[in-house]
Amino acid sequence: MADTENQVLQATAKATFIRISPRKVQIVLDLIRNKPADQAMAILKHTPKAACEPLEKLLKSAMANAENKNLDVTRLYVAECFVGQGPTLKRIRPRAKGSADRVLKRSSHITLVLREAE
């Protein structure tokens, strides 16, 4: 019986290899952390950042996962959200006098965890 008390009902969604820098994603994640899911969705819809589009899609996915697990969708909040660095694509940009600069095209792995509020 003690095991069922400690078990926290949560829904998780992960997005991997998203072609946006983790630094840019982190700014938006800080806005929605510990917010109710519907409020987080409104923030993502009205924030003019490039990271909002994949995050909105990820939040919808996490909410659908929660619904599948029979969680109360109206009581969900963003419990955890974090971003990790994915693989970096290395490209070359021509510069003056025949030299070249390296361009790093970064990608992200994003994880979003929703829980029911007590």
Q: Which of 2-6, 30-34, 88-92 has the lowest mean pLDDT?
A: 2-6
Q: Under CATH, which number does the domain 12-116 receive?
A: 3.90.470.10
Q: Are 115 and 65 in contact (CB under 8 A)?
A: no
Boundaries of every domain in the chain? 12-116
> What is the C-alpha to C-alpha distance for residues 71 and 40, in angstroms, rounded to an integer?
17
Percent of the chain with pLDDT over 70: 94
- Select from 63, 23, 22 the least CA-distant residue to 41: 63
Report field, pTM of the whole predicted structure over 0.95? no
Taking the C-alpha atoms of 38, 42, 47 and 51 in order, what is their torsion angle to the nearest 10 degrees?
40
> What is the C-alpha to C-alpha distance for residues 113 and 106, in angstroms, rounded to an integer?
23
Provide CB contacts within 8 A for 47, sequence distance 6+.
28, 31
Place of tokens 């929605």: 32
